[in-house]
Structure 1
Amino acid sequence: MSEQVERVDEQDRELGAVDRDEAIRNRWLHRVATVVCRDARGRILVHRRPESAARFPGQYNWMLGGAVEAGESYAKAAGRELAEEAGIRVPVRFVLKFLCHGTISPYWLGLHEAVIEGALTPDPREIAWHAWLPEPALREALDQWPFVPDCREAFARYAALPGRLPVRRGRD
């Protein structure tokens, strides 16, 4: 049995806890929390999933994250996923939420930001490679590299928002 998640409706109202695999198999709405990691210079963390990953092996992403467990908030899930995947604990800030139709299943995506100042300790089961890219380089990479399909819509929504985390601008 996989983790328990909240099945939700089109307005993100809870309908009850279900098995995550069942939610995906039946294409039931559930919640996913992600984190955009930026460094003090404003660069964005990009990573490649391991070839052994069950979902999207070898593909790139600019967000860390995963399913929101039953009874968990988006923010708590985002912080938990950041610690599990990158080995760091820092505050996360909610940025936006939208209904993502999803490649494997639809879900509500809660996107958060965090500024990372220390070194990462990536879990090799989650992250095979990582680098910090300036936003223009990430835009180019999204057109050239094999990214997880759902992260493209999330980037378009994120990039269009005013008021993202203020960062010091340095040389890239």
Structure 2
Amino acid sequence: MTALETVDYVDADDRPVACGPRGGAAARGLCYRVAATVCLDRAGRLLVYRRSPRAPVYPAHHDILIGGCPRPGESYRAAAARELREELGVRAAPRQVLRTRCASPVGDCWLAVHLAEIPTALRVDPREIAEHFFVAPRRLLARTPSPFVPEGHRVLTRLFA
């Protein structure tokens, strides 16, 4: 998603109140939404990826959250499924497991985290993902690559510690 795309701006209770460009919610004292998915293979290993070095936020950082902003009126679940198709080239049925308000480099957001089982053969978008691998959650917790996106690490700890 680019800054030119329109997203929902939401209040402190995650109720839509306006629309505008991504990155513009904070200037209005509002939040934006993010739908993300933690992906596991059939063996229960987590997908870990390294963001593109050209990413505008957290370039070249590792993460476990595949996602982005829902389009205006789009549900978190629909956005999560769309992002999996766009970034990994897979169709999956994400299941929401967590929704929390958190800070980001462009302002506060509501983050809906999903889980989905995906195949290990992926067609990643190289504009988004520089490299990827699968690893057991305990192994990732014991040896987290650096640098790692802070919110992705918080989710990792919350779901798998």
Scaled by the length of structure 2, the TM-score of the pair is 0.91
Is the counterpart of residue 63 in structure 1 residue 49 in structure 2? no
Judged with a 3 Å threshold, the aligned counterparts in structure 2 of structure 1 residues 141 and 103 are, in CA distance, closer, same or farther, namely: farther
Q: CA deviation at 1:103?
A: 3.3
Instruction: Calculate percent identity across the aligned residue pairs.
Output: 39
Equivalent-residue separation in structure 2 for 1:2 and 1:137 (angstroms): 39
Q: CA deviation at 1:94?
A: 1.1
Equivalent-residue separation in structure 2 for 1:91 and 1:72 (angstroms): 16
Do 2:23 and 2:107's aligned partners in 1 also have CA atoms closer than 8 Å? no
Moved more, 21-30 or 58-67: 21-30
Q: CA deviation at 1:9?
A: 1.1
Do 2:30 and 2:108's aligned partners in 1 also have CA atoms closer than 8 Å? yes
CA RMSD of aligned residues (A): 1.7
Match of 1:15 among 10, 14, 17: 17
Secondary structure of the 1:158 match is helix
Aligned to 1:30: 32
Aligned to 2:106: 104
Q: Structure 2 unaligned segments of length 5 or more: list them.
A: none
Equivalent-residue separation in structure 1 for 2:153 and 2:119 (angstroms): 26
Moved more, 96-105 or 86-95: 96-105
Q: CA deviation at 1:29?
A: 0.4
Aligned to 2:147: 146
Aligned length: 159
Equivalent-residue separation in structure 1 for 2:56 and 2:96 (angstroms): 28
Do 1:50 and 1:128's aligned partners in 2 also have CA atoms closer than 8 Å? yes
Moved over 4 A (4+): 24-27
Q: Structure 1 unaligned segments of length 5 or more: list them.
A: 161-172
Secondary structure of the 2:52 match is coil
Scaled by the length of structure 1, the TM-score of the pair is 0.85
Judged with a 3 Å threshold, the aligned counterparts in structure 2 of structure 1 residues 132 and 148 are, in CA distance, closer, same or farther, namely: same
Aligned to 1:165: none
For 1:153, give the aligned amino acid: R
